[in-house]
Amino acid sequence: MEKTIKSVQDLYDMLDADFRSAKQFWEPFYENRDRPIPFFPNKPDENLVADVEAGRLKGGRALELGCGPGRNALYLAGHGYQVDAYDLSETAIAWAKERAAEEQLDVHFECRSVFELAPEQEYDIVYDSGCLHHLLPHQRIPYIEMIHRALKPGGLFGMTCFAPGFGGQGGPEHVMNDWEVYREKTMRGGLAFTEEKLRYLLEEPFECVELRPMKAMGQEDPYFGLPILWVTLWRKPEERD
Ligand SMILES: C[S@@+](CC[C@H](N)C(=O)[O-])C[C@H]1O[C@@H](n2cnc3c(N)ncnc32)[C@H](O)[C@@H]1O
């Protein structure tokens, strides 16, 4: 029955209704590939490369959430991972598939919302570069639960998101508290997180492996890095008897 709240999903739907549709925003975002968007060049995140080179990421199955045109999924596929990668934007997924064909890499790219996925203990790593900070606060609840279920025990969750203090440099100046988002009916282009807020949201159910500012990388560098972002890596604890 329309506009009747019986389930948690009905409540989520009501909260979503006050905001622009993510699909409508992201679909045209990738139409012009020549725009100077920092994450359009086909370079992996510097932290992902560092984790592979340090032997923290050893191969296996990877899930990338909000993969855009696939730069990190492709890097993982070239470094020992069988990769499933999803994004809301058909245009981004078409671009990612072209890149995979050019690089002769086999990645399962698919246009789907992360909220349609229900993997069960399948992945060694789940990776999110810049997706969570575009989700509404209530959407984090099913999102983090899904990631936790998706990982094998001992599996890793890597995530980059906005840090505060970078207004005018492509990032948010301030951290909005979650209630403000609903009062103002906007995320002002993406939410920034303090270290304390990230730990509060993720230390249960995960263990923190790494949390640091991303290293700055220039246009000539082979990797992507912007200090407006946090780099974070979390482990799903091993099951205990
Ligand atoms: C800032 S972009 C980052 C893209 C890519 N991870 C990268 O770093 O190159 C965020 C991406 O998240 C995707 N996204 C946002 N909400 C999503 C959802 N509910 N399901 C799947 N993808 C989503 C957008 O379409 C967009 O491509």
Q: Stretch 189-205: mean pLDDT, rounded? A: 97
What is the CA(173)–ligand 1 centre distance, in A? 21
The CB of 129 under 6 Å from ligand 1? The reply is yes
Q: Stretch 6-24: mean pLDDT, rounded? A: 96
The CB of 68 under 6 Å from ligand 1? The reply is yes
Q: What is the structure's pLDDT at 239?
A: 80
What is the CA(127)–ligand 1 centre distance, in A? 11
Q: How far apart are CA 192 and CA 110, in angstroms?
A: 28
Selection from 89, 143, 139 nearest residue 119 by Cα = 143
Residue whose Cα lies nearest atom 19 of ligand 1: it is 113
On the question of pLDDT at 198 being above 90, the answer is: yes
Q: Stretch 36-62: mean pLDDT, rounded? A: 98
Q: Which CATH class is domain 22-29+40-168+180-235?
A: alpha beta
The DSSP call for residue 54 is T
User: Which atom, in ligand 1's list, is nearest to the CA of 70?
Assistant: 9
Confidence of residue 30 (pLDDT cuts 50, 70, 90): very high
